[in-house]
Structure 1
Amino acid sequence: MTHPFDRFNLNDYLIEAIKEIGFDQPTEIQEKVIPVVKKGRDIIGQSQTGSGKTHAFLLPLFNQIDPKKEEVQVVITAPSRELAEQLANAATQLAGHSPEPINVQSYIGGTDKNRQINKLQNSQPHVVIGTPGRLLDVIESNDLLIHTSTYMVVDEADMTLDMGFLEDVDKIATRLPENGQMLVFSATVPQKLQPFLKKYMNNPIIIEVENKQVIADTVENWLISTKGKNKIDMIHQLLTIGQPYLALVFANTKEYVDDIAYQLKKKGLKVAVIHGGISSRERRRVMRQIQNLEYQYIVATDLAARGIDIEGVSHVINAEVPQDLDYFVHRVGRTGRNQLSGIAITLYGPDDEQDIATIEKRGITFEPKEIKNGEVVDAHDRNRREQRKGKNVHKSDFDPEIHGLRKKLKKKVKPGYKRKIERKKQNKRKRAMRLNKNNKD
């Protein structure tokens, strides 16, 4: 009986491995990437979390590995320890089905470096996966020999850039043969990434997979105003009103994560904290406790949105609108997985209006809500005034400059002052009408 992945002409053991995982059909990025990798082309792949990207590159690369050659053949970098561990787990699962041993080794900061070096004295792995800093350490000490590798993958390249690791990845890439194949995957391709791509990639094929369904239809996407309210009190209410199975609260900085966690603990909640300032040993301990359901509430930075796979998240709360709006989808994508229902809640203040409007322009729809009498209830749409028929645009905002001119007008003023006020009002109307037209476009 044929399997949908048979058309890629993969080794039999890889088909068995994906059957074990439960892959029934290739995802769009797998359809596009696997054949191109097999042709030996460099690739820049753009896709969002949950697209099946990991196996889009692991399957064709494993298909090329020669187990008889005891040398490094594939090098993969990931910007965070959690991402590197997930990649290593996926690669190990594939290797476990190979009839001949395929050695997969991970090199991740915070783990026992000496033990890793001792292993390398006996043999070199076929597949190397790691965080840039630790990988570079064992490469520069000449313990890990990657000059034999034909393939390099830079996963989550934009995150690698944001976290300051691109220089390390650059130094790793210089050790590889010039005729090697480079695969770069990234949710976005910022301008600052371009010099690296031009330096190491030979006429790359750009494969972009749009996230057709920005948010899963199993997720309710709520928007709640914090104007005039205590945000910590609101978060506490939201966490205790619905008794979530597992709730993730996101903030933009580790300092604010720590503050939210501290305030929630004072209110009697048992809260886990995940951010880049926590040691790797502590993060691994916390992750084990989360997986064992010892915590119901987790407060985290965006590291958790893209770097950690936590099963069973029923609620996501954005304590702040993310500074990088691409992270909004990553955050919300933590809930509503595997066809389970989920609730995503974004708290916003007056300063966030423009960011919310930008998110909406990307096809994301919010349900306006408010907390009333200990319940979350429907609220008025924040745009209802603009949507009201017959509304005069020039009455929508209070202009302190015009107000001041009007006050002066009540006193004796020089001739022409009234005309100055009218010009100000007309200019304001024109600006408002232009803005209104742009919002409709």
Structure 2
Amino acid sequence: MSTFAQYNFPDFLNQALTAIHFTTPTDAQEALLPPILAGKDVVGQAETGSGKTHAFLLPILAGIQTAEHTVQAVITAPSRELAEQLKDAAEQLVSRQEPQTRILLAVGGTDKERLVEKIEHRQPQLVIGTPGRLADLVTSHVLQVQTTRYFVVDEADMSLDMGFLTDVDHIASAMPTKLQMLVFSATIPEKLQPFLRKYMHSPEMVRVALKSVISPTIKNILLATKGRDHNRIINTLLHIGQPFLALVFANTKERVDELYDYLQKQGLKVAKIHGDIPPRERRRTMKKVRDLQYQYVVATDLAARGIDVPGVSLVINDDFPKDPEFFIHRVGRTGRNGLAGTAISLYDPEQEQQVAQIEGLGISFVPEELKDGELVAANDRNRRRDRQGVAQAIDPSIKGMVAKEKKKRMPGYKNKIRKAIKVDARRKRKIARREQRRK
């Protein structure tokens, strides 16, 4: 069994790891640490909660020269909450260092003048921030990034989705060509490729094989609403088993506000987090959530990767996220560090396609329903489909013919259906061969 001792980190890092009870590297850390320590550019694709944060923070903090009063490492994160988490993790790791690495948090919604004053007094050695604020500081020549040795783009796919990649591009263009660049992402979308080609030098692609798309300690429930009111269902679920900390995810700010108001009227002490809440108030709320002053939190996907609080025992999806990948990030807030967790997704009959998309990611559900205020096992929604046999092989383009023939109930209609399937299969094979010749 491997341990962190094999990487020969400085004593202050080993002491910090011992203090937080980190002795054995995760699969992601075992895969990422060797190429990063070797000085290679790395594109890391790993699941949420895999431990990738320490996989890049440890080598960077080991390499920063505290005697040099220059910017040596820059890390971007797509949200204030994620940036604050990274800063907290970095400060935890340098707590035994003397003198300590100077770490600066640069995020939007904070006092810019005070931040500029702090940087002009003395350049930080490690800067962690959101792309917009960092790009602003680089453009105004306040932050001197031309001495940077490490540049990390964390949650790159999220930065792309939120339109921050232009700012990240601007930051990277002000840095020296000889630097180690590390990009981490849950997915590697095609639109990210031009950015990677532009700045990275023969990067090593590290894909950490998923043992399970979501933690095996999570019970992932699909709950049929049967047309009942979502507000009432969620209120009932929050009262079952008294969760230690419950997160309820909704797709829009308006829906978060609606749920928040309803649950408050039911007497629950609930917090809400979404993009329209002023940054200072959001930070205050997040601190109270971390201090366990709230038992219930209603949030948009902004918080799906931003809330990393130990003890989340229940996640409820009021609706499925528009991007199926976000389902993993939502559910991944529970069942961490080997602890048991429950995720419940409310399901309406017309959402069959969305459920199928999520199942296509390798996620399986446990079907349950609410009965007399309790969760009980329900029939698998696929049971009818599984009995349909050959009909499942029929392409959607000929389903009309199938329906028509069945309706007619004329002799030999089954043969006609089989013949149509064969014709359709031949047509597809021809198209595939033609495309192959063109390639």
8 Å CA contact retained: 1:95, 1:103: no
8 Å CA contact retained: 2:402, 2:417: no
Question: Please, which runs of 5 or more residues in structure 1 have no aligned partner?
Answer: 410-416, 435-441
Q: Residue type matched to 1:325 in 2?
A: P
8 Å CA contact retained: 1:103, 1:126: yes
Rate the CA distance shift 1:285–1:229 in 2: closer, same or farther, 3 A: same
Aligned equivalents of 2:223, 2:307: Cα separation in 1: 26
Aligned equivalents of 2:296, 2:357: Cα separation in 1: 29
CA deviations 1:234-283 (Å, max 9, x no partner) are 11221223332221111222222222223333444332111122111111
Percent identical pairs in the alignment equals: 52
Residue 74 (structure 2) aligns with: 75
CA deviations 1:212-249 (Å, max 9, x no partner) are 12233332211111232222221122122333222111
Aligned equivalents of 1:113, 1:403: Cα separation in 2: 65
Helix, strand or coil: the match of 2:355?
Answer: helix
8 Å CA contact retained: 1:385, 1:391: no
Residue 377 (structure 1) aligns with: 376
Residue 433 (structure 2) aligns with: none
Aligned equivalents of 1:61, 1:130: Cα separation in 2: 16
Q: CA deviation at 1:142?
A: 1.4
2:417 aligned residue (410, 414, 426)? 426
Residue 44 (structure 1) aligns with: 43
Aligned equivalents of 1:182, 1:392: Cα separation in 2: 52
Residue 350, structure 1, aligned to residue 313, structure 2: no
CA deviations 1:67-122 (Å, max 9, x no partner) are 11100000110000011011111112222222333111110111121111111222
Q: Residue type matched to 2:417 in 1?
A: Q
Rate the CA distance shift 1:428–1:84 in 2: closer, same or farther, 3 A: farther
8 Å CA contact retained: 1:146, 1:176: yes
**How many pairs align?**
420
Aligned equivalents of 1:425, 1:270: Cα separation in 2: 62
Residue 414 (structure 1) aligns with: none
Residue 336 (structure 1) aligns with: 335
TM-score, normalised with respect to structure 1: 0.87
Q: CA deviation at 1:430?
A: 4.8
Instruction: Indicate the RMSD between aligned Cα atoms, in angstroms.
Output: 3.0
CA deviations 1:11-38 (Å, max 9, x no partner) are 2221112111211111122222222122
Q: Residue type matched to 1:137 in 2?
A: D
Residue 176 (structure 2) aligns with: 177
TM-score, normalised with respect to structure 2: 0.87
Residue 84, structure 1, aligned to residue 83, structure 2: yes
8 Å CA contact retained: 1:43, 1:206: yes
Aligned equivalents of 2:282, 2:229: Cα separation in 1: 29
Q: CA deviation at 1:315?
A: 1.1
Helix, strand or coil: the match of 1:147?
Answer: helix
Rate the CA distance shift 1:116–1:406 in 2: closer, same or farther, 3 A: closer
Helix, strand or coil: the match of 1:310?
Answer: coil
Residue 237 (structure 1) aligns with: 236
Q: Residue type matched to 1:72 in 2?
A: V
Q: Mean alpha-carbon deviation: is it higher for 146-155 or for 236-245? A: 236-245
Residue 260 (structure 2) aligns with: 261
Aligned equivalents of 1:406, 1:212: Cα separation in 2: 44
CA deviations 1:388-435 (Å, max 9, x no partner) are 4x87859xxxx999989999x8xxxxxxx979x95998389959x99x
Q: Residue type matched to 1:209 in 2?
A: V
8 Å CA contact retained: 1:393, 1:429: no
Q: CA deviation at 1:123?
A: 1.0
Q: Residue type matched to 1:192 in 2?
A: K
Where does 1:26-425 land on structure 2 (aligned, <5 Å)?
Answer: 26-388=25-387, 393=391
Helix, strand or coil: the match of 1:307?
Answer: coil
Aligned equivalents of 1:256, 1:360: Cα separation in 2: 25
Q: Residue type matched to 2:231 in 1?
A: I
Q: Residue type matched to 2:228 in 1?
A: K
Aligned equivalents of 1:250, 1:268: Cα separation in 2: 19
Over 6 Å off, 4+ runs: 399-407
8 Å CA contact retained: 1:402, 1:424: no
Q: CA deviation at 1:341?
A: 2.2
Q: Residue type matched to 1:312 in 2?
A: G
Q: Whose Rg is larger? A: 1
